[in-house]
Amino acid sequence: MSRIGKKPIEVPGGVTATVDGQQISVKGPKGELSAVLVEDVIAKLDDGRISVTPRDGSNRARAMWGMSRTIVSNLIEGVNAGFSKTLEINGVGYRAAVQGKDLQLNVGYSHDVSYPVPDGINIECPKPTEIIISGIEKQKVGQVAAEIRAYRPPEPYKGKGIKYAGEYIFRKEGKKK
């Protein structure tokens, strides 16, 4: 029994949701999103709540149950409040800046790295060592954050690189004489 799947999803005020078979559309103050659920689950909208149930007792239906409920929950949270991830840059001379539609990263290479910002994503740099990525699609925000972090992942000896805010970097001791 899925503990996550059993919980109904509340549709907050200002957000309208429609369920048409496997297609779920959500419209809110931040924008509009939709998703198609797998055939193994059934979604129902009643009294301002969306409930997701498995179509039968098969292993696949039960496996898709909690995931489908979380997808619908993320749609509603995205159009209502949005998602954001914060990246921190550590290292001497490492910095970032937004120039037009590109994010310019200076992370220790002989050249600046230019990352084009995709549609639906907003990137801000309040400080040269901080990047805030925000948008309404949770998957897209996480993907962009992972792509930026991949340019210079943090290394374990000095901790230099791009890391998520709050991420713990396991530090290693250097060579001994």
Question: How many domains does the chain fold into?
Answer: 2
Q: Give a yes or no: residue 76 inside a domain.
A: yes
Phi, psi of 84 (to 5 degrees): -150, 150
Structure tokens at 59: 């292993």
Average pLDDT over residues 57-83: 93
Q: Give a yes or no: residue 100 inside a domain.
A: yes
Q: Give a yes or no: residue 110 inside a domain.
A: yes
Residue with tokens 């078979």: 21
Positive/negative CA dihedral, 63, 65, 71, 77 = negative
Q: What is the 3-state secondary structure (H, E, C) of 96-153?
A: EEEECCEEEEECCCCCCEEEECCCCEEEECCCCCEEEEEECCHHHHHHHHHHHHCCCC
- Look at 2-6, 10-14, 66-70, 88-92 and tell me which has the smallest mean pLDDT: 2-6
Residue with tokens 């037009």: 100
Q: What is the pTM for the complete model shown?
A: 0.89
Over the stretch 139-159, which tens digit does the pLDDT of each residue have? Answer: 999 999 999 999 999 999 998
Of 61, 80, 99, which residue is a domain's last? 80
Q: Give a yes or no: residue 52 inside a domain.
A: yes
Residues of the domain holding 117: 83-164
85 band by pLDDT with thresholds 50, 70 and 90: very high
Q: What is the CATH number of the domain that holds 98?
A: 3.90.930.12
pLDDT at 2 > cutoff 70 = no
Residue 117 exposed, middle or buried by CB count within 10 Å (0-12, 13-18, 19+): middle
Phi, psi of 160 (to 5 degrees): -75, 145
Which residues, in sequence order, are CB contacts of 173 under 8 Å at separation 6+?
none
Given this model, what pLDDT does residue 18 score? 92
* 49: three-class secondary structure by DSSP: strand
**Angle at Cα 106 formed by Cα 105 and Cα 109, nearest 5°?**
120
87 and 73 assigned to the same domain: no
- 8 A C-beta contact, residue 131 and residue 87: yes
42 and 113 assigned to the same domain: no
73 and 139 assigned to the same domain: no
144 and 90 assigned to the same domain: yes
